[in-house]
Amino acid sequence: MTYNGFEIDMLDVGDADCVLVTRWRDGWPWRVLIDGGNKTDAATVRAFLQRRGINRIHHVVCSHPHDDHAGGLVDVVADRSIRFDCGWMHMPWLHMDEKAVKKALGLSNGLQEAIRFEKSLETATSLYDVFVTRGILVFEPFAGEEIAFLQVCGPTEAYYEELLGAFADVDRIRSRQESHSRALSMEAIGEMILQKAATATKTHSLLDDPRTSPENNSSTVLEAIVNGGKYLLTADAGAQALALAADLYDLENCHCMHIPHHGSRRNITMALIEHFRPSVAFISASGSKKHPRRAVVNAFKKAGARVYSTHYPTPGHIWHHRGTVPPRSDYAPFPGL
């Protein structure tokens, strides 16, 4: 049989992300690996690829340099038993005033916002160094670029630089830390009330204006249109980033959507869900109270989606396919949440 289909593999890496997307054309596979989970997940990623007989990845994408997305990629890309043709990642050092950022971080007195960003810079540098060491060409995934059969819908370069600018001002770092701390306190106090209200009224109980970190909002948002179906991959993009992508590209009525940030309430709104209105939605999550949020699952179901997660009913990789692709006797259908 000549394969001309599309596959998405969402690997079970807990509250982390690793997605392999494969486009079959006339029997030949074109593969894009998006993220690699935490550093401890690299063995899981390599084992999956080996089991499927995959030793060549045409494109590898780092959505953003948080360790639960990029940490595993460092070791996977360093594995010379796997061929990678092209690498895609944002290079923050090309888009920020390094002296201003270093000064602001130094004045932040160990705030978690600053610590997390410093760690992200370290991870990004480590991944870039591995690409360079292996002689793999590296490109930046900004809106308008095409990665094989995938369209980059966000972020724009201008939005990315705006997000980075938040780390060049110590007052903005402190303000964001205070806002984050207040939000966590209010969420802890109001969670029970929200859950009771949602149960009583059967509402989705999502936030009207959720906020996530600038680093999450810098996530690469990707779209594929295959055999008439739209596929949306979101990494950890927040509501602001997704809204910008939706303004730039036709992302309505998706066939399949990756629910951002492991099903967090801080990354999606009901308005966006109704805009994207996917038939199928996938989550990579451990199954904790926060990931995925029941309110998020219910909101997608309310919009007509069948929702699947790597944690339910037992942890495992998710495989979704459309069109003609090689059969897999070792995979069983996943029930919806």
> Over the stretch 305-320, which tens digit does the pLDDT of each residue have?
999 999 988 899 999 9
Cα 57 to Cα 9: distance, rounded to the nearest angstrom: 14
Cα 36 to Cα 16: distance, rounded to the nearest angstrom: 8
The confidence score (pLDDT) of residue 110 equals 79
Cα 103 to Cα 27: distance, rounded to the nearest angstrom: 54
Cα 321 to Cα 6: distance, rounded to the nearest angstrom: 6
The confidence score (pLDDT) of residue 198 equals 47
Give the DSSP letter of residue 41: G
Virtual torsion, Cα 229, 235, 237, 239, nearest 10 deg? 50
Give the chain's domains with CATH numbers. 6-322 (3.60.15.10)
Cα dihedral 225, 228, 233, 234 sign: positive
The confidence score (pLDDT) of residue 300 equals 97
Strand 6-10 versus strand 137-139 pairing type? unpaired
Q: Which residues contact 106 (CB under 8 A, 6 or more apart)?
A: none
- Two tokens at 329? 């006797």
The confidence score (pLDDT) of residue 173 equals 83
Mind listing the pLDDT tens digit for each residue in 45-89? 999 999 999 999 999 999 999 999 999 999 999 999 999 999 999
Give the residues of the chain that fall short of pLDDT 70: 179-204, 333-337
Q: Is 197 helix (H, G, I), strand (E, B) or coil?
A: helix
What DSSP string runs through 95-130?
Answer: SS-HHHHHHHHHTTTT-HHHHHHHHHHHHHHHHHHH
Are residues 212 and 183 in contact, defined by beta-carbon separation less than 8 angstroms?
no
Cα dihedral 301, 306, 312, 316 sign: negative
